[in-house]
Chain A
């Protein structure tokens, strides 16, 4: 259903069976030490910067099998496998990453890093500001998608990866995929943006703004300075509830909840939780506040609002002019937050540049969040695309090697 629902562990192993990557651990990489801070798009400088990241599989001797996974708004570096044997659920995209899965870790070296501005180990508003010794709060500089991508490039160099065989991400992860392919064309052999767009729509900005207003209207928010007292839990929970509605579809809500009541037969004629869908949303909100920082929610949604691949680059066609990656663009038929027409805009601009592009609209009733769910079609698509990209990349490298 969503990343907040426990995914049952497959039988056969305490770590998820033979096609699980097993136990993984989060690693940390710190760079941009003063005076060499990173200059952000907003004009401010940030440093030192820490990125939390995880890897699965092994980098090949030719260093040509690395696949970067970019997470969405509420994700983290823990993309697959388990941190501890007693974990209830694996990483957020475990369904697609592991031995024999769509992104087969016996073939590919998978890297996933938490974005800056986040709250899952990378530098963000809840990190301690070295200048004050206290959490940044709103003193944290505004970060953009391209800032995130530039920090990921530093990590790439640190890991000794000359070029990504591929990269993928859904939603805001897709923003990063697009930014990567445009900003570092020589370092991206192929790209698989999923359920995403070249810019956030007015509707997307609108929902983000309502979420932010809910957080900032919470008396506990205190201008973002709440780290030594109660967090704005109710505001963040409401923001998550609103967001969650946009990740689902009308059809799926009807099928999953209908108008059924939760734990009662008749209306109570009061304002307690009555309908199953209300109860579900409250659960989503409540579980979210336990794992996410309200200020991070503000910063990350703002980075989404600012994202427009064309800004400073003319048109979308011009933005893709230097792209050298081949593309697999996936959209989801019932996604109304990032509707298929937005994916087609990307495809159109890529094709106008002669970029080899495959486009598939996955038929699914589950809305935007469908890319978190098990899908034989999506698995087969990603596996088939990656396999052919790797064959071509290795074929081209071999041909290059034979050239006198």
Chain B
């Protein structure tokens, strides 16, 4: 599937750029909450990927169709349920995990339909977040967490530490982890739970022990 080899899409969000770099050429990719399909169109057009999307917002779905991205309009768990085991090489969930009603089920389903999962999420353990709660006594807000308490779609926020512990319990292996400041500057993994505003994990199931 070729979208266009002439026009490079507008600059992608930096976490998109980093996620894009993790995806091998020609991979079969599913993007959950794919929005207007920018990342998928880019992967299809420039990396020869086979891309599919799931998106709940009608206007965003229309934009995907305009871009030529095959997209499912609806809930991500329902949409993933349509695929056979291991259909995809990679399933992407970019900054949406914290908005899902049942994150463990979403992640399990991602690793059922895909060999690997790439998940990015805002780190609630970032020092700025902690300080806002500790000193100001206010619900934290940041570029990664722009909402007020009363209108936030984020129902399952977590910290890097929480997520790592979750992966261990679910027997998920971290293939790659990338940390960014709240302003999307890449940083090392040193004290990531204090320093990272955004974390990107690439996961796969641990090989079954004999």
With an 8 A cutoff between CB atoms, is A258 at the interface? no
- Bound together, the chains give a CA A326 to CA B4 distance in angstroms of 18
Known contacts A351-B83, A380-B62; 6 further A-B pairs (Cβ under 8 A): A328-B65, A344-B74, A356-B52, A359-B72, A381-B65, A392-B2
| Cβ–Cβ contact A388 & B68, under 8 A | yes
Please give the number of chain B residues whose Cβ is less than 8 angstroms from any Cβ of chain A in the complex.
Answer: 25
- Bound together, the chains give a CA A288 to CA B66 distance in angstroms of 38
| Cβ–Cβ contact A363 & B58, under 8 A | yes
Decide if the interface of chain A is mainly helix, strand, loop or mixed: helix
With an 8 A cutoff between CB atoms, is A272 at the interface? no
| Cβ–Cβ contact B62 & A377, under 8 A | yes
In-complex Cβ contact of B73 among A351, A359, A392 (8 A): A359
1/0 per residue, CB under 8 A from A, across B47-82: the answer is 000001000001001101111111111100010011
With an 8 A cutoff between CB atoms, is A225 at the interface? no
Which B-chain residue is minimally distant from A357 (CB atoms)? B70
A380-B62, A381-B62 given as contacts; is B82 within 8 A of A391 (CB)? no
Q: How far is the CB of B86 from chain A (nearest CB, A)?
A: 12
- Bound together, the chains give a CA A360 to CA B3 distance in angstroms of 20
1/0 per residue, CB under 8 A from B, across A184-221: the answer is 00000000000000000000000000000000000000
**Most interface-central of A328, A351, A363 (chain B CB within 10 A):** A351
| Cβ–Cβ contact A354 & B87, under 8 A | yes
Chain A residues numbered 340-355 whose CB sits less than 8 Å from any CB in chain B: 344, 347-348, 351-352, 354
Size category of the binding interface on chain A: 20 to 34
| Cβ–Cβ contact B61 & A360, under 8 A | yes
| Cβ–Cβ contact A359 & B74, under 8 A | yes
Q: How far is the CB of B45 from chain A (nearest CB, A)?
A: 11
With an 8 A cutoff between CB atoms, is A162 at the interface? no
| Cβ–Cβ contact A391 & B68, under 8 A | yes
Q: Please indicate the chain B residues that have their CB under 8 angstroms from the CB of A384 in the complex.
A: 62, 65-68
| Cβ–Cβ contact A360 & B58, under 8 A | yes
Chain A residues numbered 342-398 whose CB sits less than 8 Å from any CB in chain B: 344, 347-348, 351-352, 354, 356-363, 377, 380-381, 384-385, 387-388, 391-392, 395
- Bound together, the chains give a CA A354 to CA B52 distance in angstroms of 10
| Cβ–Cβ contact B1 & A356, under 8 A | yes
- Bound together, the chains give a CA A384 to CA B37 distance in angstroms of 13
1/0 per residue, CB under 8 A from A, across B1-33: the answer is 111100000000000000000000000000000
| Cβ–Cβ contact B70 & A361, under 8 A | no
- Bound together, the chains give a CA A328 to CA B65 distance in angstroms of 9
What residues of chain B have their CB less than 8 Å away from a CB belonging to chain A?
1-4, 52, 58, 61-62, 64-74, 78, 81-84, 87
Q: Please indicate the chain B residues that have their CB under 8 angstroms from the CB of A377 in the complex.
A: 58, 62
- Bound together, the chains give a CA A377 to CA B81 distance in angstroms of 26
In-complex Cβ contact of B65 among A344, A348, A358, A392 (8 A): A358
Q: How far is the CB of B68 from chain A (nearest CB, A)?
A: 3
In-complex Cβ contact of A358 among B4, B64, B84 (8 A): B64
| Cβ–Cβ contact A356 & B70, under 8 A | yes
In-complex Cβ contact of B72 among A347, A363, A387, A388 (8 A): A347
Could you list some 7 contacts between A and B, CB below 8 A? Answer: A347-B72, A351-B82, A351-B83, A357-B72, A358-B69, A358-B71, A361-B74
Q: Please indicate the chain B residues that have their CB under 8 angstroms from the CB of A326 in the complex.
A: 70
| Cβ–Cβ contact B71 & A347, under 8 A | no
Q: How far is the CB of B141 from chain A (nearest CB, A)?
A: 31
A356-B70, A392-B1 given as contacts; is B82 within 8 A of A347 (CB)? yes
Q: How far is the CB of A327 from chain B (nearest CB, A)?
A: 8
Which A-chain residue is minimally distant from B71 (CB atoms)? A358
- Bound together, the chains give a CA A354 to CA B28 distance in angstroms of 11
Q: Please indicate the chain B residues that have their CB under 8 angstroms from the CB of A328 in the complex.
A: 65
Which B-chain residue is minimally distant from A381 (CB atoms)? B65
Q: Please indicate the chain B residues that have their CB under 8 angstroms from the CB of A380 in the complex.
A: 62, 65-66
- Bound together, the chains give a CA A384 to CA B36 distance in angstroms of 13
Q: Please indicate the chain B residues that have their CB under 8 angstroms from the CB of A363 in the complex.
A: 58
- Bound together, the chains give a CA A328 to CA B71 distance in angstroms of 9
- Bound together, the chains give a CA A361 to CA B82 distance in angstroms of 16
In-complex Cβ contact of B68 among A348, A351, A354, A392 (8 A): A392
Q: Please indicate the chain A residues that have their CB under 8 angstroms from the CB of B58 in the complex.
A: 360-363, 377
Q: Please indicate the chain A residues that have their CB under 8 angstroms from the CB of B67 in the complex.
A: 384, 388
Q: Please indicate the chain B residues that have their CB under 8 angstroms from the CB of A388 in the complex.
A: 3, 65, 67-68
| Cβ–Cβ contact B82 & A348, under 8 A | yes
| Cβ–Cβ contact B84 & A352, under 8 A | yes
Q: How far is the CB of B34 from chain A (nearest CB, A)?
A: 12
Q: How far is the CB of B196 from chain A (nearest CB, A)?
A: 35
Q: How far is the CB of A181 from chain B (nearest CB, A)?
A: 15
Which B-chain residue is minimally distant from A328 (CB atoms)? B65
